[in-house]
């Protein structure tokens, strides 16, 4: 997401852009939420309506979390909203526009998750907006999702403003091998003529009086063009949404495809292959066998899944060999060198604690230039964006997509030579 946002922002700023990658990014593993910031000052019993908006929440994170990229960029957080509107606008084929406050979306684990923006197919399931009973659906023929577990996520936040729920299993997929199908197969099955309609008819029969919306497992079609949620909704007579997805993720695949389509439409040249001889701007580098010379570089190579940060005995940045200096907790202090320490010594025993190892990445300045151990800028025209920037745990701290989009947008514009 960071790389695509940077490429699209640089393109919009008039730059000629090559996006080099060794594999599709980890956005394909996204569950459908664009998580930017959840108010750290809110209490567990603070109602949805009383929680601060997304940008204000990011400002509060900047105050409370030393080392977090929002802290580094706190002087520029007034542009966070513009960046978010830009990215969701570019991907409007699959993403619903953000409203300024968090949506609260159900997950397969029975949890309500905060997201500044989300997949279009999920917007109707916002617990803070649904007025009236919410029907949580599972499938009679498939054990993949337990609607009672999912619904418990809403029950736990009833007092915060979530609707009451009703869990039902629709008598769907009770044929041949559907019981054993993986999410992508189910998504394809629902696209077939008549199947989404059948789901809608079954749902209509199960609806309680006054039902306001229904939430389904996140398999409502691989192709948004198949209009599976809309077809179910038309048949059932109420809005239909998907819950967020774990892995493998159908919504993640849709997002990945939308990014691909947008990059192509915007004229971003995508080169696939390992990047070699990456010594920086104006020097030729080999990307999948092709030579590329660029005036500016944006490193948006991700964290461990993306491969931007690697650990083979010690932590290092994988493309340019930059030092890994930023983390959080006791290692937010830039004077503490931790990259060579054992994994046991840079993790905490309680997995729920912030984990410095999982928050490790590049240290950057306010312009997103990677810094060395002495705090010096490594190159005026090298920028870093997304999870390769350290100081936050993008996988689980609820700011991963926000940092990706914000730093991607800033870095892309800066790389194209346009002041933010």
Partner 1 sequence: MAGEASQGTFDVVVLGGGVNGAGVARDCAMRGLSVLLLEKQDLASGASGASSGMIHGGIRYMTSDRRVTELASRDAGYIRRIAPHLTFRIPFLIPFATHGEEATLLDRLTWYATEVYVGTYDLFQPLKGGKPSARLTAEELYAVEPSLRPGLHGAVTLDEWGIDGQRLCLLNALSAAAHGAQVRTWTEATGLVREAGRVAGVRWRDALTGEHGEARASVVVNATGGWSPRWGKSNGVLVPMRPGKGVHLSLDRRHGNYGIICTAVDGRQMFLMPHEMESIIGTTDDDYYDDPDDLDATAEEVEYLVEGVASLVPSVRQSRITRAWWGVRTTIYEYGVEEDDLSRDHRILDHAAEGSAGLLSIVGGKLASYRAQSEEVTDRALALLGRAALPCRTHEEPLPGGDDVPVASELAEQHGVPEAIAARLVYRHGSLAREVLRVADDDPRMKLVVCRDEGIIAAEVAWIARHENVRRLQDLRRRCRLAVGGCGGLDCARPAAQVVARELGWSADQLRAELSDLLEVGWRERRPVLDGWQLAEEELLRAVHRGLGGL
Binding footprint of partner 1 on the chain (CB under 8 A): 29, 31, 33, 35, 107-113, 141-144, 146, 148-149, 151-153, 155-156, 179-180, 244, 246-247, 303-305, 307, 310-313, 342-345, 347, 349-352, 355, 357-358, 393, 395-398, 400
Q: Phi and psi (nearest 5°) for 409?
A: -65, -45
Least distance to partner 1, CB of residue 18, Å:
25
Q: Is the dihedral of CA 364, 68, 400, 97 positive or negative?
A: negative
Contact 96, 229 (CB under 8 A): no
Least distance to partner 1, CB of residue 20, Å:
20
Least distance to partner 1, CB of residue 59, Å:
22
Nearer CB in complex with partner 1: 318/412: 318
Least distance to partner 1, CB of residue 27, Å:
12
Rg (CA), the chain: 22
Nearer CB in complex with partner 1: 268/404: 404
Least distance to partner 1, CB of residue 379, Å:
27
Nearer CB in complex with partner 1: 151/320: 151
Q: What is the DSSP letter of 208?
A: P
Q: How far apart are CA 120 and CA 86, in angstroms?
A: 16
Q: How far apart are CA 284 and CA 381, in angstroms?
A: 15
Nearer CB in complex with partner 1: 103/142: 142
Least distance to partner 1, CB of residue 398, Å:
7
Nearer CB in complex with partner 1: 159/343: 343
CA angle 288, 416, 61 (to 5 degrees): 95
Q: What is the DSSP letter of 244?
A: P
Least distance to partner 1, CB of residue 151, Å:
8
Q: How far apart are CA 171 and CA 120, in angstroms?
A: 26
Output the CA–CA distances (angstroms, integers) from residue 374 to 211, 323, 370, 404, in the order listed. Answer: 60, 11, 11, 25
Question: Tokens 């997949």 map to which residue?
Answer: 119
Nearer CB in complex with partner 1: 296/355: 355
Strand partners, 119: 95
Q: In 298-416, which residue ranges form alpha helices assigned H by DSSP?
A: 400-415
Q: Is the dihedral of CA 348, 351, 353, 358 positive or negative?
A: positive
Q: How far apart are CA 65 and CA 194, in angstroms?
A: 51
Least distance to partner 1, CB of residue 107, Å:
5
Strand partners, 213: 134
Is the backbone peptide bond immediately before 365 cis, with ω within 30 degrees of 0?
no
**Cα–Cα nearest to 151, from 116, 124, 113, 112:** 112
Least distance to partner 1, CB of residue 39, Å:
16
Nearer CB in complex with partner 1: 34/268: 34
Least distance to partner 1, CB of residue 182, Å:
9
Nearer CB in complex with partner 1: 120/142: 142
Nearer CB in complex with partner 1: 133/394: 394
Contact 152, 110 (CB under 8 A): yes
Nearer CB in complex with partner 1: 16/174: 174
Nearer CB in complex with partner 1: 219/294: 219
CB atoms within 10 A of CB 24: 14
Least distance to partner 1, CB of residue 400, Å:
8
CA angle 378, 383, 389 (to 5 degrees): 95
Helix 183-191 vs helix 195-206: angle between axes, to the nearest 10 degrees?
90
């Amino acid at each position: 997401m960071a790389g695509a946002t940077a490429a699209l922002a640089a393109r919009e700023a008039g730059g000629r852009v090559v996006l080099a990658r060794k594999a599709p990014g980890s956005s394909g593993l996204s569950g459908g939420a664009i998580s930017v910031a959840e108010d750290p000052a809110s209490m567990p019993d603070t109602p949805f309506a009383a929680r601060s908006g997304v940008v204000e929440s990011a400002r509060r994170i900047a105050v409370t979390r030393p080392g977090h990229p929002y802290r580094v960029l706190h002087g520029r957080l007034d542009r966070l909203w513009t960046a978010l509107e830009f990215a969701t606008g570019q991907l409007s084929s699959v993403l619903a526009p953000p409203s300024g406050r968090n949506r609260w979306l159900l997950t397969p684990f029975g949890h309500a998750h905060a997201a500044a923006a989300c997949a279009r197919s999920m917007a109707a399931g916002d617990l803070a907006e649904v007025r009236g009973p919410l029907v949580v659906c599972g499938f009679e023929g498939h054990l993949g999702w337990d609607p009672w577990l999912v619904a418990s996520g809403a029950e736990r936040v009833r007092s915060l403003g979530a609707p009451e729920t009703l869990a039902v299993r629709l008598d769907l997929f009770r044929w041949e091998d559907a019981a054993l199908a993986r999410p992508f197969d189910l998504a394809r099955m629902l696209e077939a003529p008549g199947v989404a309609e059948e789901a809608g008819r079954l749902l209509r029969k199960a609806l309680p009086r006054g039902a306001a919306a229904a939430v389904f497992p996140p398999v409502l079609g691989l192709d948004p063009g198949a209009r599976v949620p809309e077809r179910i909704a038309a048949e059932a007579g109420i809005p239909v949404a998907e819950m967020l997805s774990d892995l493998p993720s159908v919504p993640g695949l849709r997002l990945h495809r939308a990014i691909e389509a947008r990059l192509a439409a915007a004229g971003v040249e995508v080169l696939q292959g390992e990047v070699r001889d990456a010594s920086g701007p104006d020097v030729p580098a080999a990307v999948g066998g092709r030579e590329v010379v660029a005036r500016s570089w944006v490193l948006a190579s991700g964290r461990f899944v993306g491969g931007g940060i690697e650990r083979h005995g010690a932590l290092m940045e994988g493309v340019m060999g930059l030092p890994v200096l930023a983390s959080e907790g006791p290692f937010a202090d830039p004077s503490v060198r931790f990259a060579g320490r054992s994994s046991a010594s840079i993790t905490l025993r309680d997995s729920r604690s912030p984990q410095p190892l999982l928050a490790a990445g590049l240290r950057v300045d306010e312009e997103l230039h990677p810094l060395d151990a002495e705090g010096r800028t490594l190159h005026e025209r090298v920028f870093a964006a997304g999870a390769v920037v350290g100081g936050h745990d993008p996988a689980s701290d609820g700011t991963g997509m926000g940092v990706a989009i914000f730093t991607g947008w800033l870095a892309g514009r800066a790389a194209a030579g346009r002041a933010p």
